[in-house]
Chain A
Amino acid sequence: MEQLLHFFSFQDPIIRNVILGTILLSISSSLVGCFTFLRKRSLVGDAVAHAVLPGICVAFILHGEKNLWILMIGAFVAGWLSLIVIDLIANKSKIPEDSAIALVLSVFFGVGTLLLTHIQHNPSLSSNAAGLENFLFGNAIAINQQDLYAFGTIACILLATITILYKEFILVSFDVNFAKTIGFPVRVLELILTTLTVLAVVIGIQSVGVVLMSAMLITPAATARFWTQKLNVFILIATFLGVISSISGSFISYVTPSPTGPWIVMILSLIAIVSFLFAPDRGIISKLMKQNAFKQKVIDENILKALYQLGENEQKSDIQYSIKELLNKRPMDESVLSKGLYRLTKERFLIQENDTWQLTPLGKNKGQRITKIHRLWEVYLTKYVQIAPDHVHEDADSIEHILTPELEKKLEELLEYPSTDPHNTTIPYKK
């Protein structure tokens, strides 16, 4: 608790710098990441992040000391160069784009490591080089006041550009060809977006390092995609997630104590994985649950249908039936059936007496509707889809469970309320 208070009191300048720095970083990278995600160019950010290393080293060797602005310019140039080389290789040779990306990122990174180790082993260079290796794995603690001003300036440029060109960027990310046809300067806009990606990497690389930088770009956008279909909301959520992970990651690394970058990415990834699994609608588990619920619905409706049709045969509906009779009418797993019967009784579609079940008016209604749709669909398939009457039953068995009331009405109207199905059984309408 004490640690929590101390952490959020912002009194410690190091903590303040770390928090502000990582917030600036996460806002910039999440925003830019949304656009690269939409353009399906997520891994380009990965390439840029690796590729800035040689730029930083060359800038250092040329300048001789660790001046942040100079290093950032070096990083910026190298990042840009890497993207040009990727485009060149992918477009001017038969090498596939993913190979071009991997080749450029690994070779640039290799050159960067070569130069970095050269600097470290060279006494005349290494004396000023302390902290240069922070660019490899990131070291948020090393962010100082001056760095913050630099990050802040770049983040402002980035935010302003996105605000001004918001509409254009959306269109380019969403539908390049349409943007071209309505006369947008697509090439220029893509170049600006690319520049923004490089800028975001330049801000982030000192805090989280080259490898994890790509997570800062990709993960917030990929996660936000699971929570909304609306574009504006998507971008807001991504940015929000980035900021939350930065603050909590910084906090954990302060408490434990351990490096900041990996913890930010860890939090971000955990949120991502939880979202992939549990997000309503699009999450993997939610989908499975929906499918399960649908399976239950199918079982329930099949039971009601069977009971209804049993009553239909005997011209009466208030008869009780045993499990055996039901299984005779519609073979299914007995445990599945008894669970279904239990559910339906609880939901008041059935009344149970000893070991027999009887439809309530509510249950009868539903059984009638399912039977009706089944038979109507059989009529539709034979009449409009030219399927032989002896082949339509199976399909109708699945359609009867999914037809919405609107489509049901359309079907009735299209077929003009036929009285019998292809097997000459009466179609029951609601009286």
Chain B
Amino acid sequence: MVTQVENPILEVHDLTVSYQSKPVLWNVDFSLPSGSLTGIIGPNGAGKSTLIKSIMGLTEKNSGYIKLFDKPLSKVRKKVSYVPQRESVDWNFPTSVFDIVLMGRYGHLGLFKRPKQADKEFALECLRDVGMEEFKDRQISQLSGGQQQRVFLARALAQNADIYFMDEPFVGVDAATEAAIIELLKKMRNQGKTVIVVHHDLQSVKKYFDWVILINMRLIASGPTETTFTKDTLQEAYGGKLTLLSQISDLLSKEDIPTRQG
């Protein structure tokens, strides 16, 4: 149940990733069309976050390759945006909402270069897009969960990328924020951007995404939502782990051995 596409914006080829020599993703192989709003779906510990982290080069991969716009990530960084999980940073950090959003421009600036007026105006515009303009000078420690997520989203918008990877943007946010975010994501898709979201609420999958990737240690399915997000594929993704596969991955982690020769 893997629909491969022509001229993919993202191509993941035979990707195997281990965490402390225990494989968490096994031979994942799929491609994504440009201009889609994609959900990465799977149970807890299925490797959803690991998948986008390895696409962003944040975790080392054992084998396989990843191409964005038919090029390796290092060649196209400016066209790619990443939104980490909200909990991954310290929200007590002494800084303001605006400074966080401005970070989105850093990738376009050189070493030691300061953001220019144009960068600041653009960042402000992005803050407006997520409805947080009046919070511009607020300290980030004073934000609610939903507001924090909007700030992260604004930072991603400020990157002005073509493809966006978001790790669990709906976790711990209020219903209003969730609705506003999905509205924004759909708007982005309609402008031709590609958005990939790690998501775990099965209820809303059909409503939100036009493409889904189902994983559970291995790729279960990848394709348009209506044909891919079915009872069968769901059963497979959530129907428990493959015992043999997890036994072997336990063995690999216990032996602490390199998975590949050479």
Residue numbers of A with Cβ under 8 A of B are: 94, 287, 290-291, 294-295, 298-299, 302, 380-381, 384-388, 391-392, 394-395, 397-399, 402-404, 407, 410-411, 414
Say whether B259 contacts A385, CB under 8 Å: no
Q: Which residue of B lies closest to A95 (CB)?
A: B92
Say whether B257 contacts A387, CB under 8 Å: no
Q: When chains A and B are docked, how far (Å) is the Cα of A94 from the Cα of B141?
A: 10
Q: Which residue of B lies closest to A299 (CB)?
A: B261
Q: What is the distance, in angstroms, from B150's C-beta to the closest C-beta of chain A?
A: 22
Q: What is the distance, in angstroms, from B63's C-beta to the closest C-beta of chain A?
A: 6
Q: When chains A and B are docked, how far (Å) is the Cα of A32 from the Cα of B221?
A: 53
Q: Which residues of A contact B2 (CB under 8 A)?
A: 386, 388
Say whether B260 contacts A398, CB under 8 Å: yes
- List, sorted by A's number, 11 A–B pairs whose CB atoms are closer than 8 Å: A290-B255, A291-B258, A294-B255, A295-B258, A380-B244, A381-B27, A385-B218, A386-B1, A387-B219, A398-B260, A407-B244
Q: A391-B29, A395-B26, A398-B259 are in contact. List 4 more A-B contacts (CB 8 A).
A: A295-B261, A403-B248, A407-B248, A407-B251
Q: Which residue of A lies closest to B219 (CB)?
A: A386
Q: Which residues of A contact B76 (CB under 8 A)?
A: none
Say whether B26 contacts A385, CB under 8 Å: yes
Q: Which residues of B contact A392 (CB under 8 A)?
A: 27
Q: When chains A and B are docked, how far (Å) is the Cα of A12 from the Cα of B242?
A: 70
Q: How many pairs of residues, A versus B, come closer than 8 Å at their CB atoms? A: 69
Q: Which residues of B contact A414 (CB under 8 A)?
A: 244
Q: Residue-by-residue, is B24-56 near A (CB-CB < 8 Å gives 1, otherwise 0)? A: 001101000000000000000000000000000
Say whether A391 contacts B248, CB under 8 Å: no
Q: Which residues of B contact A411 (CB under 8 A)?
A: 244
Say whether A287 contacts B256, CB under 8 Å: yes
Q: When chains A and B are docked, how far (Å) is the Cα of A90 from the Cα of B257?
A: 40
| Chain A CB within 10 A, most for which of B14, B219, B261 | B261
Q: When chains A and B are docked, how far (Å) is the Cα of A385 from the Cα of B242?
A: 8
Q: Which residue of B lies closest to A298 (CB)?
A: B261
Q: When chains A and B are docked, how far (Å) is the Cα of A392 from the Cα of B218?
A: 13
Q: Residue-by-residue, is B216-231 near A (CB-CB < 8 Å gives 1, otherwise 0)? A: 0011100000000000
Say whether B242 contacts A384, CB under 8 Å: yes
Residue numbers of B with Cβ under 8 A of A are: 1-2, 14, 16, 26-27, 29, 63, 92, 141, 218-220, 242, 244-245, 247-248, 251-252, 255-261
| Chain A CB within 10 A, most for which of B141, B242, B257 | B257
Say whether A387 contacts B27, CB under 8 Å: yes
**5 shortest interchain CB distances as A-B pairs:** A94-B92, A385-B218, A294-B257, A298-B261, A387-B27
Q: Which residues of B contact A302 (CB under 8 A)?
A: 261
Q: Which residues of B contact A398 (CB under 8 A)?
A: 259-261
Q: What is the distance, in angstroms, from B12's C-beta to the closest C-beta of chain A?
A: 12
Say whether A391 contacts B244, CB under 8 Å: no
Q: What is the distance, in angstroms, from A20's C-beta to the closest C-beta of chain B?
A: 43
Q: What is the distance, in angstroms, from A225's C-beta to the closest C-beta of chain B?
A: 16
| Chain A CB within 10 A, most for which of B1, B2, B248, B259 | B248
Say whether B63 contacts A388, CB under 8 Å: no
Q: Which residue of A lies closest to B260 (CB)?
A: A398
Q: When chains A and B are docked, how far (Å) is the Cα of A298 from the Cα of B261?
A: 7
- Given that A391-B27, A399-B248 are contacting pairs, would A386 and B261 also be in contact in the complex, using a CB cutoff of 8 Å? no
Q: Which residues of B contact A294 (CB under 8 A)?
A: 255, 257-258
Q: Which residues of B contact A403 (CB under 8 A)?
A: 248
Say whether B257 contacts A402, CB under 8 Å: yes
Q: Which residues of A contact B63 (CB under 8 A)?
A: 394
Q: When chains A and B are docked, how far (Å) is the Cα of A397 from the Cα of B27?
A: 13
- Which of A94, A290, A385, A404 sits near B27, CB closer than 8 Å? A385
Q: Which residues of A contact B255 (CB under 8 A)?
A: 290, 294, 402
Q: When chains A and B are docked, how far (Å) is the Cα of A399 from the Cα of B257?
A: 11
Say whether A404 contacts B218, CB under 8 Å: no
Q: When chains A and B are docked, how far (Å) is the Cα of A287 from the Cα of B257?
A: 9
| Chain B CB within 10 A, most for which of A291, A295, A298, A386 | A386
Say whether B248 contacts A402, CB under 8 Å: yes
Say whether B245 contacts A395, CB under 8 Å: no
- Given that A290-B256, A386-B218 are contacting pairs, would A395 and B27 also be in contact in the complex, using a CB cutoff of 8 Å? yes
- Which of A290, A298, A387, A407 sits near B247, CB closer than 8 Å? A407
Q: Which residues of A contact B218 (CB under 8 A)?
A: 385-387
Q: Which residues of B contact A287 (CB under 8 A)?
A: 256
Q: Which residues of B contact A290 (CB under 8 A)?
A: 255-257
Q: Which residues of B contact A402 (CB under 8 A)?
A: 248, 251-252, 255, 257
Q: Which residues of A contact B260 (CB under 8 A)?
A: 394, 397-398
Q: When chains A and B are docked, how far (Å) is the Cα of A394 from the Cα of B26?
A: 11
Q: Which residues of A contact B247 (CB under 8 A)?
A: 407, 410
Q: When chains A and B are docked, how far (Å) is the Cα of A407 from the Cα of B247?
A: 8
Q: What is the distance, in angstroms, from A307's C-beta to the closest C-beta of chain B?
A: 17
Q: When chains A and B are docked, how far (Å) is the Cα of A133 from the Cα of B252?
A: 54
Q: When chains A and B are docked, how far (Å) is the Cα of A429 from the Cα of B244?
A: 20
Q: When chains A and B are docked, how far (Å) is the Cα of A294 from the Cα of B260?
A: 10
Say whether A410 contacts B27, CB under 8 Å: no
